[in-house]
Amino acid sequence: MRFFGLLLLLTFTATAALAYHNWPIFIAPNELSLGFTTIQAPIGLVLLGTLIFITVLFLMNMVYMQSTSILESRRYSKELEANKELVNDTEKSRFTELKNSFETELSKQSLLNDEIKAELFARYDLVDGNFRTMIEEMENTLDAYIGELEDRLERTKYLPPSES
């Protein structure tokens, strides 16, 4: 844009210098045909006025386009910011949902772990009870065998009688 502005300024300065140096020729009246009529007017001033008018129109168009582009850029920036906020909110909700899902799964696993632990301890108590019962039965059986052997030995007189 700087190059274009500099070129425009250079052109404007050259036109102003040309008009200044040739001012008497610019204001000399001549016959000017408008197509349907002829008038007496200084052609240089008419052309200079036309050039200034076109330049002003061009500058107004340029200002309009610049302002339109700035406003549109601002609108896009606002839309982009709104979309960014929407994406951030969506990501936050996804992370919250994921966190809640993890917490739910962890609580399920904790409950399952507690159930398994309770079942394991129940089985351990059952096995321990069965094992103790079996040991008592074996102890009673062993005592019975030993008692029977003592009775046989006493009958055969190999052992001294018991003091009981």
Confidence of residue 163 (pLDDT cuts 50, 70, 90): low
Specify the pTM: 0.48
Which amino acid appears at position 63 of this protein? Answer: V
Instruction: Assign 21 to helix, strand or coil.
Output: helix
Sequence-distant (≥ 6) Cβ neighbours of residue 153 within 8 angstroms: 159
Per-residue pLDDT tens for 72-120?
Answer: 999 999 999 999 999 999 999 999 999 999 999 999 999 999 999 999 9
What pLDDT does 122 receive? 94
Per-residue pLDDT tens for 37-80?
Answer: 888 988 888 888 898 899 899 889 989 999 999 999 999 999 99
According to DSSP H, which parts of 36-157 are helical?
Answer: 43-156
